[in-house]
């Protein structure tokens, strides 16, 4: 794995979270626990430019979501519950408890931020503070889908097609899939460390990854929306402090009002734009740290 080069001083951990499910993580630093969750089509390697600074103040735990990286990739079921954000959030809670942390802070990007949202909703006693990067709530984004959004986020609608169509196309050339998805964003491929890009491509080629990432999106377009709607009907809103940041060059900024959307589902929200596109931790690590470190502090 190239992540040992990207995260010097961090140790690997492989933690069983459910029968037949193990989650790959790295742990480094000291202090209060901080859980880092990545997005699509990436792995925990996205944090390599900010993790060393975060580890000066926190015990950093960076995980690969189920279906991604070197974590388990179970087969999906009929309602895609194996990849619901509720199930993926339970993985992360189990990881933190296995490491001895009953309460913790969360910093999460993209798909990982959707897992973090469900983690905070289902287990509010565990999440002290949460920072989410470049997303609006899933339900709001689907409900407000426009032509502009659909063209830019084409993969949302490609990946939810019934198996095995998208899996077969991704598996035909996983490296090209990474280049096409990531390279078409505002920053292009130049924003990525070549070692990190190789890691993303390696993991996309692993058996089961194509199916896992498709199931993640299929769940988001189905069972996850059911869970989100149930929260709305019950009047449940996130109560912990929430920081929402998004790239001023990105699609989320162009198509949505993230701060407004998060204020609809959370009680204590702050945030704004950063001078970058979608891949905030890799495009604007210093700007991210300037916003996140004061927020996470007690």
pLDDT, tens digit (0-9, with 9 covering 90-100), for 207-235: 999 999 999 999 999 999 999 999 999 99
CA angle centred on 263, ends 257 and 269, rounded to 5°: 105
Whether 1 shows a pLDDT value over 70: the answer reads: no
Whether 2 shows a pLDDT value over 60: the answer reads: no
- Does the pTM surpass 0.85? The reply is yes
Mean local confidence (pLDDT), 110-126: 98
Contact in structure between 23 and 64 (CB atoms under 8 Å): yes
Contact in structure between 177 and 197 (CB atoms under 8 Å): no
Domains, the chain, ordered by start: 3-296 (3.40.50.1820)
- Please state, for a pLDDT cut of 70, what percent of the chain lies above it: 99
258-284 per-position pLDDT tens digit? 999 999 999 999 999 999 999 999 999
- Give the residue numbers annotated as catalytic, written as ranges: 110, 278
Mean local confidence (pLDDT), 37-62: 98
Residue 3: the pLDDT is 80
Contact in structure between 216 and 40 (CB atoms under 8 Å): yes
Residue 298: the pLDDT is 73
Write down the mean pLDDT value for the chain. 97
- Taking phi first (over 0 means left), then psi (-120 to 50 degrees means alpha), and beta for anything else, what does residue 272 get? left
156-183 per-position pLDDT tens digit? 999 999 999 999 999 999 999 999 999 9
- Enumerate the β-bridge partners of residue 242: 130, 269
- 3-class state of residue 241 by DSSP: coil
């Amino acid at each position: 794995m190239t992540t040992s080069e990207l995260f010097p001083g961090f140790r690997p951990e492989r933690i069983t979270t459910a029968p037949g499910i193990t989650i790959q993580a790295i742990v480094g630093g000291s202090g209060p626990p901080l859980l880092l969750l990545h997005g699509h089509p990436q792995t925990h390697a996205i944090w390599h430019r900010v993790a060393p600074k975060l580890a000066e103040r926190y015990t950093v735990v960076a995980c690969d979501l189920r279906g991604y990286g070197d974590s388990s990739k179970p087969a999906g079921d009929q309602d895609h519950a194996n990849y619901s954000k509720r199930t993926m959030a339970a993985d992360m809670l189990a990881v933190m408890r296995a490491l001895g942390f009953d309460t913790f802070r969360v910093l999460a990007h993209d798909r990982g931020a959707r897992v973090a949202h469900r983690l905070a909703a289902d287990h509010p006693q565990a999440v002290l503070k949460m920072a989410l990067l470049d997303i609006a709530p899933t339900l709001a984004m689907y409900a407000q889908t426009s032509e502009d959004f659909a063209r830019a986020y084409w993969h949302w609608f490609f990946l939810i097609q019934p198996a095995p169509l998208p899996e077969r196309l991704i598996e035909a050339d996983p490296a090209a899939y990474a280049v096409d998805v990531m390279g078409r964003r505002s920053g292009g491929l130049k924003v990525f460390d070549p070692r990190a890009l190789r890691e993303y491509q390696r993991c996309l080629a692993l058996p089961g990854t194509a199916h896992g990432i498709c199931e993640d999106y299929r769940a988001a377009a189905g069972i996850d929306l059911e869970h989100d709607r149930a929260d709305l009907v019950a009047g449940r809103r996130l109560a912990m402090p929430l920081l929402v940041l998004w790239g001023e060059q990105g699609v989320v900024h162009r198509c949505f009002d993230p701060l407004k959307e998060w204020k609809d589902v959370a009680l204590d929200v702050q945030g704004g734009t950063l001078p970058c596109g979608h891949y905030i931790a890799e495009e604007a690590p210093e700007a991210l740290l300037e916003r996140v470190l004061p927020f996470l502090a007690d």
